[in-house]
Chains A and B, each alone.
Chain A
Amino acid sequence: MSRDIRELLADKEFQRKMEKLAGLYPEERSALLAALHLCESETGCCGEEFQEYIAGKLGIPRASVKGVVTFYEMFHEKPRGKYLVQVCRTLPCMLAGAEILLDHICGKLGIRPGGTTKDGKFTLVTVECLACCDRGPSLMINDTLYTGITPEGFDKVIKELD
């Protein structure tokens, strides 16, 4: 999650994964989003160094890679907290109580959406519809989805995270 990018690029296992990704689709450039996802999950961001590496690897101009990283919500150029708390704020979750939940989370973590806790553990963001509208309010912490979550339920979930 918070591995150093230089260490990651030198890692043989990571290089193997990249080779496999590059050969996965009919054309190599289609692997770009998958490669960025992998870097994001290993290092918490897709910074300049990885952008340069993957541009060379897939034969895509660096500017285009930067354009892609900055276009998509799930990629970050700067490192974020160890746990990315993504709270759905769209209408169906709002009707279920997402605003109450978000207020609670802001108070609990002591940050506003977009902020990161001082210890670097949590980054809080609001996201759009997570496609589980019948079970709202919903949020994701990294790759894990939580639905029908109450303020108390949130406290319990983060207590169990190391």
Chain B
Amino acid sequence: MAGELKVLTANLGMKGTTEIDAVMRRGAYEALIKAMTRMTPDQVLGEVKAANLKGRGGAGFPAGLKWSFLPKGKDKTRYLVCNADESEPGTFKDRLLIENDPHKVLEGIIIAGYATQSAGCFIYIRGEMPQGARVLQRAVNQAYDRHFLGKNILGSGLDFDIWVARGAGAYICGEETALMNSLEGKRGEPRIKPPFPAGYGVYGKPSNINNVETYANVPAIIEKGADWYNSIGSADTPGTRLFGVCGHVKNPGLFELPSTVTLRELIYGHAGGILGDRKLKAVIPGGSSVPVLRADQIDVTMDSAGLKAVGSMPGSGGVIVMNDSVCMVRALHNLMRFYAHESCGQCTPCREGTHWLELLSGAIERGEGREGDADKILSLSKNIMGRTICPLGDAAAMPAESFVRQFREEFEFHIREKRCLPETMRMTTIYSA
């Protein structure tokens, strides 16, 4: 089993790492100084592009390419946005980065600001993370004091600010254009695209949005170079990734690994195996929105190619492990309740579809399911997929479709027998294990 490779998490677990003096003694802001004093903005952009840094928020879009979509020119005001609205069930990596090493994130953001010659960056953090917001604001103030933010940073001619903004409890605000509306003091409803954020973002200005972990990758790329970055991980997802493992494992937590690690190594090696020494039943490998896998599908690498081969995707890196005490109908109902609750209601397929998926899975779970209900879930999912303004509809349809496809017999048993499988009558919890 390959060991952890601590690039992004090198400072986690150390003392005082929210303080700028402490992290600067450990090398923080050296990449920023290198970028702004020895490289041109285009060279920085070129390095990030060559590194093939993939977005870590779920979609995996190449960050350098995204940056290059911003229109150039001194007459344009460009903004960056850092998406810290971490709310994908099973995902807890950004919270740990922000609360424990905020300067790593800030350094990446400021380097991106230099590469794109932007005016500033909004960090949009979940309302439910007041501690993270305080830590970030304090770190931002320290960066201003050190002149890493403000006017003419390090004599480079760049004026760059960072604003911390709090959300207020809406999963949909993790969607990029909903987030931008929320930043403008509006309801978090996604915008119709095009226009894309690179042309029309915050306040209608060209904007670039990346996830917290994506920005946190930038300092190491600048410091050590694209070749070094590409020597780690796999061809489709170079570098390390933060995998958060939760659910029925003995040693849940965050693990930083190259995405060449297999799902089996992650669950049985790093996370210590299955809680209660029971059998593995199912695993959601990249946050609740990606298709679920069965126990016999875990011998795959955690990159796009590996997970695609078994019909899933890396998503946000949140791995939810379920042992054989879990009723899959009940688990699906829990997730469908989540998506129905979080749908913003703009698009009919999502607003109505998620609601019906919640009702149907709930009815089957309660023993009120009727013959044909499993197919109804499949048909509802199919009619949501790709028919909405934003990906929330897809995010509900993918688990719905895959739960039924992968565990069809259990759904049929429920409908026929009006009860759960015998082994799932009592679910393992941390209290019972």
Contact = CB atoms under 8 A, between A and B. Distances in A.
A130 interface: yes
Contacts of A143: 130-131
B128 A31 contact: no
Nearest to B318: A133
Interface stretch (B60-68, B141-149, B181-189): B181-189
B233 interface: no
Contacts of A67: 186-187
A73 B170 contact: yes
A28 to B, nearest CB: 8
Dominant secondary structure of chain A at its interface with chain B: mixed
B107 interface: no
Considering residues A27, A72, A127, A129, which has the most beta carbons from chain B within 10 angstroms of its beta carbon? A129
Interface string B114-144: 0000011010001111110000000000000
How many chain A residues sit at the interface, stated as a range, is: 35 or more
A33 B185 contact: yes
Interface stretch (A9-17, A94-102, A116-124): A94-102
A29 interface: yes
A91 B245 contact: no
A95 B320 CA distance: 9
A105 interface: no
Nearest to B85: A131
Nearest to A151: B431
B168 to A, nearest CB: 4
A119 B79 CA distance: 48
Given A30-B183, A71-B170, A90-B334, A97 B165 contact: no
A133 B91 contact: yes
B169 A73 contact: yes
Considering residues A24, A73, A89, which has the most beta carbons from chain B within 10 angstroms of its beta carbon? A73
Contacts, number: 154
B8 interface: no
Contacts of A131: 86-87, 91-92, 94-95, 126, 128-129
A71 B345 CA distance: 11
B393 interface: no
Nearest to B79: A26
B130 A90 contact: no
Contact of A25 (B94, B165, B171): B165
Interface string B12-26: 000000000000000
Interface string B316-327: 001010100010
A148 B429 CA distance: 11
Interface string A118-151: 0000000001111111111100100101001010
A132 B89 contact: no
Interface string A1-42: 000000000000000000000001111011111101100000
Given A37-B166, A64-B186, A71-B187, 11 more contacts: A25-B122, A26-B163, A67-B186, A74-B128, A91-B335, A92-B90, A94-B331, A128-B338, A132-B95, A133-B89, A133-B320
10 contacts: A30-B183, A67-B186, A71-B188, A74-B169, A91-B247, A95-B427, A96-B430, A131-B128, A134-B252, A143-B130
Interface of A: 24-27, 29-34, 36-37, 58, 60, 64, 67-68, 71-75, 86, 89-92, 94-97, 100, 127-137, 140, 143, 145, 148, 150
Q: Which 7 A-B pairs give the minimum distances between C-beta atoms?
A: A97-B429, A73-B169, A32-B185, A72-B168, A133-B246, A134-B252, A29-B185
